[in-house]
C-alpha cells in the first residue's frame, strides 16, 4: 500500500473569455504557447498537457475541454495527487490546425516534458500529433478524434500503445447515422464532407452502412469532399444538393461547414432536403454561423445529427461537480475530456511512476475488467494506492478501452429547432 502525501449534457453553450477568466484559466492564443495552470510544487510530480482547439474551426466545442481537464486535475490533487505529489497541467491550443498542433505537441513533449496529453480533438490534428507523442513516449488520449484511421494504424502497431480515445470511432458513429437515416425513411442520401481524415473516413463508413440497409448514395461516383481552407463552396453545395436527395449527410467543421450550408440555401437547393450532421458541429454557435431566413428562423431548422452520448455511472456526479464549478450545463465531449485525464492519473498511480511509459503500461488495466467497478475518482485513486485492481467507470461511459485504444459508445440524436437551439430527441445504435 502506498501512502498519499495528503488525504483529504446536453444543452450547448459557448464560454466567453470572461467566463474562462473567472475560472482561473489563461488560455494560450497560439499553438506554441503553453500555460501551467496547476503548479507541481517540487517538480517531481506527474505532468499532463492538453492539446485542444481553443481557437480555429472547432473552437466552439473545444473551449470547454481544458476546463474539464483542469477540474479533473484539481479534483485528484485535492484527494492526494498522484504518487505522493500534486499533478501539473500545461495547456496548449491546437488551433484546429495539423501544423500548429504538431508544433504544440512538440513543445509539450520535448520542452515541457509531459507524460500524457488529453488531445487532440480534430482527427487531422491527432494524426500529426501522435507521431510526436510516440517518438517521445508520451501517452495521447483523445476525447474526440473519431476517425477510423487510428484503429487501422493501431492494428499495424504504429502507436506502440501510446494512443487511446474516450470517444468511439466513426466506424460506429457512421453506422449510427446510417441507422438514423434509415429510421427516418430516407432512401437517397448524398454526402458532403470535409476533405480530411475525419470527413473522408466517416463518409466511407456511412456509405457502406447505408447501402447495407438498402439506401442509395446518388453522388457516390463523385463524392463532395471540400477543402478545409476553402473561402467559397458554391460548386460543392450544388453538387451535394442537386437532384433533391431525401437528405444530405454533411460531415463538417463549423466555420467551413456553415459556408457550405449557407451556399446551398442561397442557391435554393436545400428546401425539402434534410441535413444530417455529426459531432463536429454539435454547437449552437455553428447554427448561428449558418444564419437565419428572412422570417428569423434557422436556415437549417429540422436538421438532425448524431453525437457520442455520455451515459456513464459517474455522469450525474460529474454534472453536479461541473455545474458547481462553472455554473454552466455540460457541452459535448466535456465528460470525455474528464475521463481521459482521470484515466491517465489512475494509470500513473497504478504504475507507481510519472512517465508516459508508466501510463501506457497501466491505462488498459485501470479502464477494464477485472477489477472493482468504481466511478468516484478519489475512491478509485485510493483503491489503486492500496494495490487493488479497479475498473474505472467514467462520466462518458464505461470507457472499456480495447487493445487498439478504442471504446464503443452510444449516440444521441439531436435536432436543430427553428429558433436555432438544439435538443437531444432520441438515441440510436450502430446499424451493423
The owner of cell 482547439 is 53
Strands 247-251 and 189-194: parallel
Q: Are 393 and 373 in contact (CB under 8 A)?
A: yes
Taking only the tens of pLDDT, the chain with its 432 residues reads 433 333 333 333 323 332 333 333 333 333 344 454 554 444 689 999 999 999 999 998 999 999 999 999 999 999 999 999 999 999 999 999 999 999 999 999 999 999 999 999 999 999 999 999 999 999 999 999 999 899 999 999 999 999 999 999 988 899 999 999 999 999 999 999 999 989 999 999 999 999 999 999 999 999 999 999 899 999 999 999 999 999 999 999 999 999 999 999 999 999 999 999 999 999 999 999 999 999 999 999 999 999 998 889 999 999 999 999 999 989 999 999 999 999 999 999 999 999 999 999 999 999 999 999 999 999 999 999 999 999 999 999 999 999 999 998 779 999 999 999 999 999 887 755
Run of H or E residues at 118: strand 116-119
Which pLDDT score is estimated for 19? Answer: 32
**Taking the chain, what is the end-to-end CA distance rounded to the nearest angstrom?**
45
The owner of cell 437515416 is 181
> Cα(359)–Cα(349) distance, rounded to whole angstroms?
8
Q: Are 359 and 347 in contact (CB under 8 A)?
A: yes
CA distances in angstroms from 167 to 13, 19, 119, 350, listed in the order given = 20, 26, 11, 23
> Cα dihedral sign for 107, 43, 74, 393?
positive
**What letter would DSSP give residue 43?**
T
Which pLDDT score is estimated for 54? Answer: 96
Cell numbers standing for residue 245: 436527395
Which pLDDT score is estimated for 43? Answer: 61
Run of H or E residues at 20: helix 17-22
**Alpha carbon 212 to chain centroid, angstroms:** 27
**Alpha carbon 402 to chain centroid, angstroms:** 18
Strands 47-52 and 304-308: unpaired
Provide Rg for the chain, Cα atoms: 21
Cell numbers standing for residue 208: 457502406
> Cα(234)–Cα(259) distance, rounded to whole angstroms?
9
Which pLDDT score is estimated for 171? Answer: 86
What's 181-224 look like in SS3?
A: HHHCCCCEEEEEEECCHHHHHHHHHHHHHHHHCCCECCCCCCCE
Query: Pick from 332, 346, 348: which is nearest to 399 by CA?
Result: 346
Which pLDDT score is estimated for 431? Answer: 57
Could you give the domains of the chain? Answer: 17-168+311-392 (3.40.50.2300), 171-308+410-428 (3.40.50.2300)
Dihedral angle, C-alpha 222, 228, 233, 239, nearest 10 °: 10
pTM score of the predicted model: 0.82
Which pLDDT score is estimated for 1? Answer: 40
Run of H or E residues at 255: helix 254-266
For helices 334-351 and 356-367, the axis angle rounded to 10 degrees is: 110
Query: Pick from 52, 51, 48: which is nearest to 37 by CA?
Result: 48
Amino acid at each position: 500500500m502506498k501512502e498519499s502525501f495528503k488525504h483529504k449534457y446536453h444543452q450547448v453553450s459557448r464560454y466567453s473569455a470572461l467566463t474562462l477568466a473567472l475560472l482561473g484559466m489563461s488560455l494560450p492564443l497560439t499553438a506554441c504557447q503553453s500555460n501551467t495552470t496547476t503548479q507541481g510544487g517540487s517538480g517531481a510530480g506527474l505532468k499532463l498537457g492538453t492539446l485542444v482547439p481553443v481557437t480555429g474551426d472547432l473552437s466552439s466545442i473545444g473551449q470547454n475541454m481544458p476546463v474539464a481537464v483542469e477540474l479533473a486535475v484539481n479534483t485528484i490533487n485535492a484527494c492526494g495527487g498522484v504518487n505522493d505529489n500534486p499533478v501539473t497541467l500545461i495547456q496548449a491550443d491546437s488551433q484546429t490546425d495539423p501544423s500548429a498542433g504538431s508544433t504544440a505537441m512538440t513543445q509539450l513533449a520535448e520542452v515541457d516534458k509531459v507524460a500524457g496529453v488529453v488531445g487532440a480533438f480534430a482527427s487531422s490534428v491527432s494524426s500529426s500529433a501522435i507521431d510526436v507523442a510516440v517518438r517521445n513516449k508520451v501517452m495521447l488520449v483523445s476525447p474526440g478524434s473519431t476517425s477510423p484511421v487510428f484503429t487501422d494504424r493501431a492494428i499495424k502497431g504504429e502507436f506502440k500503445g501510446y494512443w487511446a480515445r474516450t470517444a468511439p470511432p466513426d466506424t460506429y458513429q457512421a453506422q449510427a447515422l446510417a441507422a438514423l437515416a434509415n429510421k427516418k425513411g430516407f432512401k437517397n442520401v448524398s454526402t458532403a464532407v470535409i476533405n480530411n481524415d475525419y470527413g473522408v473516413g466517416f463518409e466511407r463508413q456511412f456509405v457502406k452502412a447505408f447501402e447495407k440497409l438498402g439506401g442509395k448514395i446518388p453522388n457516390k461516383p463523385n463524392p463532395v469532399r471540400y477543402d478545409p481552407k476553402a473561402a467559397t463552396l458554391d460548386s460543392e453545395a450544388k453538387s451535394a444538393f442537386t437532384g433533391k436527395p431525401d437528405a444530405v449527410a454533411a460531415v463538417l467543421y463549423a466555420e467551413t461547414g456553415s459556408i457550405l450550408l449557407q451556399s446551398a440555401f442561397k442557391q435554393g437547393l436545400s428546401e425539402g432536403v434534410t441535413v444530417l450532421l455529426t459531432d463536429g458541429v454539435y454547437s449552437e454557435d455553428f447554427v448561428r454561423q449558418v444564419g437565419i431566413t428572412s422570417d428569423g428562423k434557422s436556415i437549417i431548422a429540422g436538421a438532425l445529427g448524431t453525437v457520442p452520448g455520455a451515459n456513464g455511472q459517474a455522469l450525474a456526479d460529474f454534472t453536479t461537480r461541473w455545474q458547481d464549478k462553472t455554473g454552466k450545463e455540460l457541452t459535448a465531449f466535456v465528460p470525455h475530456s474528464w475521463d481521459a485525464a482521470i484515466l491517465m492519473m489512475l494509470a500513473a498511480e497504478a504504475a507507481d511512476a510519472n512517465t508516459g511509459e508508466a501510463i501506457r503500461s497501466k491505462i488498459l488495466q485501470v479502464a477494464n475488467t477485472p477489477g472493482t467497478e468504481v466511478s468516484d475518482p478519489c475512491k478509485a485513486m485510493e483503491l489503486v494506492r492500496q494495490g487493488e485492481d479497479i475498473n474505472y467507470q467514467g462520466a462518458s461511459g464505461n470507457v472499456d478501452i480495447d487493445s487498439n485504444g478504442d471504446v464503443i459508445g452510444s449516440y444521441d440524436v439531436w435536432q436543430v429547432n427553428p429558433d436555432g437551439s438544439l435538443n437531444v430527441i432520441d438515441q440510436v445504435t450502430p446499424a451493423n
